[in-house]
Amino acid sequence: MSKRIFALALALIMLLLVGCQPSGNDNNGGDKDGMNNSENGGQQNRGDGFVLKAVVNSLNPDYIEVEVIESDYAFGIYWVRTGAQTEYFNADGSTAGMSDLKAGQTISITYSGQTMMSLPPQIVAWSIQIK
């Protein structure tokens, strides 16, 4: 009897796990992470995104090291990955660039909410606004 209950419980757990797997596609045809969808030419499907406020510690060729000062989910040191898809703005909303960033500045970073499991944690910036 206990073997049947165990088998039934195991089958139920497996069914729940399979049903909870992400499809990798949202209703808009974009990737869940908002990156590199061939259907829309690689454009990001950004939606609302997550925003964190941070102070720039240092600028490196591959990442920006920041210390998070305000966020619902993040804290401490983060590496912010940027690329051609990253948009930069000044406080007044005008277009800026990576060259406008300097250590000690406060910035707002919009990203997908996904964090790479590394030390320090890493995120990919959709946009950076210089405060």
Q: What domains can you pick out in the chain, each with its CATH number?
A: 2-40 (no CATH), 50-130 (2.40.50.140)
Helices (H) and strands (E) in the chain, counts: 1, 6
Identity (one letter) of the amino acid at 115?
T
**Over 80: is that where the pLDDT of 43 sits?**
no
Dig out the tokens for 82 from the structure. Answer: 């940027």
Is pTM, for the whole model, over 0.75? no
Per the model's pLDDT, the better-predicted residue between 44 and 90 turns out to be 90
27: pLDDT confidence band, cut at 50, 70 and 90? very low
CA distance 4 to 101: 63
Q: For strand 76-81 and strand 87-89, is the pairing parallel, antiparallel, or unpaired?
A: unpaired
> In sequence order, what are the beta bridge partners of 51?
110
**Coil, helix or strand at residue 3:** helix
Other Cβ atoms less than 10 A from the Cβ of 26: the count is 15
